[in-house]
Structure 1
């Protein structure tokens, strides 16, 4: 028993990037078995042999390291995350490129970066070109990438006051940045503790969503991919979106409810918060997300009686109800940066009479979900901090001598939280301008460059298909444009502040 425990500890001593590579190698056998069941032997062999190759490399590198224990702490873990999003997709793309055979390796690499960052930009499309097992692999990689971000939020980003935690009171000097049971733990021990706490929840919620989708008539593999996509907010689908799924309206309603998990960490865990902030009804992120998910569809719905004159008012109760539901589901999906489009979204567009609904969805994706969730974007907590600061400034204009109180809703924010949030927003805007300019320089039009930049930085890949006047064919972009988009996806997933932290000598000295 002691020898088995010693072997377990020796495995955990390996670098984080090597452990992630081992998990990815084992995961390749899942699509291999799936392809074998479907009698697709070439695809099965590609994933099976790639998994064996990956495990051999992990074992050889692990043996060569011997008993050497990595000396780096949190900065090293952050560097491992960066390597996971940049280097690991080179290995993840090997079975995809080999199974397809008729695509460039750069396209396969782009697809894997899109998957592991939970962006979900479909460079191959969601049609019949890809085998079902490759669609499953894309959804599985995104699902694992989403879980990795949940782990990193508690064990890496929170102690470094990154990923949205710089706005909270825990980002202040002397603030508690982790849960009480992790305060005295090392970086590696924190990862193990958080993994044991979150893995059953993440897996259990995914299985529950999958079974519910199956109960509404969903097919086996597409329902599993959609369940993993909703939990990871990747928006990956093997049938061209939920509008083509057999689960129907019931499936959309179930997925709509599970998307609320991306609005706030409190919906499924409180390992990054103290005991005083665990009530969901007092969580500013959840309340703001709920307000947006209700108010924006209602505005689209009410606009029918002001602007959509080509549609008569007596079109029927069911048409109005379907338009309202299509707007609610799609807005919620893009707010959570999942990017699924409701089967009733076309009805919602016709009902509202709005010519550019893609701009609204781009705005929702830029706002994004909650801190320490799988969602991307600017994050609801930063938007809330800017909102409170705006209210305070307006109050000072009316009453210059007034002293504003903290209140219960501001306990989670630090004193200069709005300033830090504004700095991040400016960095996000600067990144958006730089990426758009670079894409325009390599031949993209202004509209396409703007949509692509917002989609990649907010990790909402389906924006490329719905935000513009027509879908953007990612496969026909130039090679420099694809590499720029890969950088944008990694930048959007890790956020600009994390890159700045990696370049800071003080962080490495500490």
Structure 2
């Protein structure tokens, strides 16, 4: 285990990928789909062997002077951050090989796009008809998305947190991209392979246990074991991947949606599954800043949609019963959490919610929720709720100063730092995020995409909410209708959305490349 932890990070990922390919291979053997089984077994043997050869060639005994060298730490830190970028761009080249060999009705580039989408937990698919893919291939896509969610959990706390990136810069007193020691020794703590191994050992049992619990629960309420497993992995990774086209076709009904709703809360705050400093007098979860913002949105938005029926949609008529009205309220509540967590699952009550509220195409509402995103160090994408919380607190304080210019803001030093320095870096990130949306839309427009479609595709990719394109516009859109250059742009946008622009900006820091 110690030797595995000391392997190059990308080699570790290659070994994990090769091992994971044996799961759909075993499933294909059980189904007697021999072509799919051969595709996954051959790819698993090939890439696992290649990873082992690279690990043997790179192996050297650890020495004390190597471990204590500041120059080596800097180089290793730089390599770790670059490896995150390489993982989302190069690893899908490996993951796409069995997908392409098993599918046979698509191009390798489309398979690569599918794997980028799954690994970044976006869930954007080029196969609108689920029957085009075999069951082992669907399982492989959901499994890659699940591993991508675990990868996001681990790297957020093991790499981005010591770098003060990924949302941690809002609650920290250090500058973004600055390590816990000094700026020139960037990623000194995050670069250690032992740190990655330690956090993986800590988080993987939680991640796996929650997935198995949801799988069992969905199976108990009506889903087949195969569909329940794919949906359980997709919910935990907030990827929105489904082998049957959505929850409505999964067979679990309302109870299945209720279970998914409960587990999507994990994407609102990292405090739901772990604690930074566990102690007996820790504040309750509902007092967590991210959870407070999320609960406020989950209460106000559905109530607004429900009350709009009487306020401004009097012309809407029909045989509305109490249960249909209740179904519309549930559909609104589920969709708010689903898109706030950037999972993108659609509720069976959403159609009635739209009719009840009179909103025929509530795309702006859903896109706004996806942009807000979920919690820091979770599988959710978007801007992150902690940044939204910092801006809200700063706005409240500014209004207080307008009313009472000589008032003094309280709530402690941490709250004052979030209202000032935290709000500043949050606003900077919002501006970077907005400029990124504009830039990607311009690129798509250059290749012939209409304005509305460009906006939906861009936000869907940048917030890692692939299913957004099916419900955001007046008509359902499809990634399959895009040309190859447009797919390249959106694949790069998915990587930016998962890795976050501040990490890319940190790579451009001159101090990062010195020595």
State the Cα deviation string for residues 364-414 of structure 1 (Å, max 9, x = none): 000000011110000000001011111122222222222222349827837
Report what 1:33 is aligned to. Answer: 26
RMSD between aligned residues: 2.4
* 2:163–2:179 CA contact under 8 A, matched in 1: no
* 1:169–1:414 CA contact under 8 A, matched in 2: no
Q: Find the residue that maps to 1:437 and give its secondary structure.
A: helix
Report what 1:354 is aligned to. Answer: 359
Compared CA separation, residues 186 and 66, structure 1 to 2 (3 A): closer
Alignment of 1:357-368 (within 5 A): 357-368=362-373
Between 1:272-281 and 1:444-453, the stretch displaced more is 272-281
Compared CA separation, residues 166 and 194, structure 1 to 2 (3 A): same
Q: Find the residue that maps to 1:125 and give its secondary structure.
A: coil
Compared CA separation, residues 102 and 186, structure 1 to 2 (3 A): closer
Compared CA separation, residues 266 and 152, structure 1 to 2 (3 A): same
1:273 Cα offset (Å): 8.2
| Residue correspondences, number | 500
Report what 2:67 is aligned to. Answer: none
Alpha-carbon distance between aligned partners in 2 of 1:186 and 1:507, rounded to the nearest angstrom: 13
Alpha-carbon distance between aligned partners in 2 of 1:378 and 1:68, rounded to the nearest angstrom: 42
Structure 1 residues without counterparts, runs of 5 or longer? 1-7
* 1:177–1:272 CA contact under 8 A, matched in 2: no
Alpha-carbon distance between aligned partners in 2 of 1:98 and 1:454, rounded to the nearest angstrom: 31
Alpha-carbon distance between aligned partners in 1 of 2:51 and 2:417, rounded to the nearest angstrom: 42
Alpha-carbon distance between aligned partners in 1 of 2:427 and 2:60, rounded to the nearest angstrom: 45
State the Cα deviation string for residues 121-161 of structure 1 (Å, max 9, x = none): 01112521111111111110010001011101111000000
* 2:164–2:179 CA contact under 8 A, matched in 1: no
Residue of structure 1 aligned with 2:498, choices 473, 478, 493: 493
Report what 1:3 is aligned to. Answer: none
Report what 1:158 is aligned to. Answer: 161
* 2:269–2:291 CA contact under 8 A, matched in 1: yes
Q: Find the residue that maps to 2:131 and give its secondary structure.
A: coil
Residue of structure 1 aligned with 2:51, choices 40, 58, 61: 58
Report what 1:108 is aligned to. Answer: 111
Report what 1:242 is aligned to. Answer: 247
Report what 1:145 is aligned to. Answer: 148
1:10 Cα offset (Å): 2.1
1:16 Cα offset (Å): 0.7
Q: Find the residue that maps to 1:166 and give its secondary structure.
A: helix
Report what 1:5 is aligned to. Answer: none
1:71 Cα offset (Å): 7.2
Asked if 1:392 is matched to 2:385, the reply is: no
Between 1:187-196 and 1:105-114, the stretch displaced more is 187-196
1:338 Cα offset (Å): 0.2
1:11 Cα offset (Å): 2.2
Compared CA separation, residues 186 and 433, structure 1 to 2 (3 A): closer
Residue of structure 2 aligned with 1:448, choices 440, 450, 453: 453
Report what 1:405 is aligned to. Answer: 410
* 1:339–1:462 CA contact under 8 A, matched in 2: yes
Alpha-carbon distance between aligned partners in 2 of 1:146 and 1:236, rounded to the nearest angstrom: 12
Q: Find the residue that maps to 1:72 and give its secondary structure.
A: helix
Residue of structure 2 aligned with 1:205, choices 176, 200, 210: 210
State the Cα deviation string for residues 4-45 of structure 1 (Å, max 9, x = none): xxxx32222111111011101110111111111112111111
Structure 2 residues without counterparts, runs of 5 or longer? 63-72, 182-186
* 2:177–2:503 CA contact under 8 A, matched in 1: no
1:506 Cα offset (Å): 1.4
Alpha-carbon distance between aligned partners in 2 of 1:175 and 1:61, rounded to the nearest angstrom: 32
* 2:163–2:176 CA contact under 8 A, matched in 1: no
Asked if 1:22 is matched to 2:15, the reply is: yes
Compared CA separation, residues 113 and 212, structure 1 to 2 (3 A): same
Report what 1:121 is aligned to. Answer: 124
Asked if 1:254 is matched to 2:247, the reply is: no
Alpha-carbon distance between aligned partners in 2 of 1:175 and 1:129, rounded to the nearest angstrom: 47
Alignment of 1:462-477 (within 5 A): 462-477=467-482
* 2:373–2:381 CA contact under 8 A, matched in 1: yes
Alpha-carbon distance between aligned partners in 2 of 1:206 and 1:16, rounded to the nearest angstrom: 25
